[in-house]
Amino acid sequence: MNSPVLEATDIHKSYGSGSGRFDALKGVSLAVRAGESVAIVGKSGSGKSTLMHILALLDQPDDGAVLVGGEDAATLRGRAVNQLRNADFGFVFQQFFLVPNATVLDNVVLPLKIAGVSGRERRERGMAALRALELDDKAKNRATNLSGGQKQRVVIARALVNNPKVIFADEPTGNLDTATGQVVEDILFTLNREQGITLIIVTHDTELAERCDRQIYLRDGRETDAPAPPNLHGHGSEGAAA
């Protein structure tokens, strides 16, 4: 519980150059310990997704370092980074990103297929993940024929099928109605509690943020201690969820 799985120190990231240059992150540091659930909270455009992408090794910071299990990610080779993302990370993006014409099962086992796991084992582990999310009866359905909540559960099944250490979730409830969003949140926190999977959740929903062990507030690319006034936030999250 005490060793950090992920550590970021003084992360800077800017987009564009010259007069069009935009500093998305201006020196953010954080450490995430194994088994923790951490919320990255902030308004739209505050740099939450950028920070998550850097932590998930999908992007490199311009300045500052990301340590994974104590090792500087900048020193890792491309292949090792791919391997790390494939084996240790699970992803839930704000959009579902399901392959439209493939079956639910095929979508779920994609990380295992990339890892080179054999067809039979893929099936078994994929079905187990679907069972955990009560979707095993939909295994043969086309991914496009599901409701929003079912799709998000498929996405979560895909994120945990490789038994990851960390699940990154970018606005996991942003696309769902309040009730379905609640179900998805419950699933994520159950995984955190029962399997000890570290959660890094990007959200602008304060209620979801408060269910996490710890919150990191971002404003204009910087970490702030004080949360924004609650009334403003409550209003914003309701508007987004509708």
Partner 1 sequence: MNTGDLLKTAVQNTFRSKLRTSLTVVAIFIGAFTLTITSAIGAGISDYIDSQLGAIGAEGVLTVNKAPDTETAAEEGPNRYDPDRATADDPFPGAPAGPGGFGAGALTVDDIEAIESTHGVTSVEPTVFVSADFITADGSDKYEISLNPVSAAIVPDLAAGAPLTNSDQNEILLPDEYLDALGFADAEDAVGATVTIGATDAVGEQHDVDVAIVGVQNTSLLPLGASINENLTDALVEVQQTGRTVDAPVGYLSAVAHLERDATDDQITSIKEDLADQGFLAQTTADQIGAFQTVISGIIGVLNAFAVIALIAAGFGIVNTLLMSVQERTREIGLMKAMGMGGGRVFGLFSSEAVFIGFLGSAIGAAAAVLAGTAISTALATSLLSGLPGLQIMLFEPSAIITVILVVMGIAFLAGTLPARRAAQQNPIDALRYE
Ligand X SMILES: Nc1ncnc2c1ncn2[C@@H]1O[C@H](COP(=O)(O)OP(=O)(O)O)[C@@H](O)[C@H]1O
Q: Which residues bind Mg ion (CB under 5 A)?
A: 49
By CB under 8 A, name the one of 4, 31, 59, 224 that touches partner 1: 59
Q: How far is the CB of 133 from ligand X (least distance, A)?
A: 26
Q: How far is the CB of 219 from ligand X (least distance, A)?
A: 10
State the binding partner of 115 from Mg ion, ligand X, partner 1, none, CB within 5 to 8 A by kind.
partner 1
**Which stretch in 18-26, 109-117, 129-137, 145-153 sits in contact with partner 1 by CB under 8 A?**
109-117
45: left (phi over 0), alpha (psi -120 to 50) or beta: left
By CB under 8 A, name the one of 61, 111, 126, 181 that touches partner 1: 111
State the binding partner of 45 from ligand X, partner 1, Mg ion, none, CB within 5 to 8 A by kind.
ligand X
Distances in Å between the Cα of 154 and the Cα atoms of 11, 91, 228 are 33, 12, 33
Q: How far is the CB of 211 from partner 1 (least distance, A)?
A: 22
* DSSP assignment string, 153-214: HHHHHHHHTT--SEEEEESTTTTS-HHHHHHHHHHHHHHHHHH--EEEEEES-HHHHHHSSE
Q: How far is the CB of 204 from Mg ion (least distance, A)?
A: 9
By CB under 8 A, name the one of 43, 69, 76, 86 that touches partner 1: 86
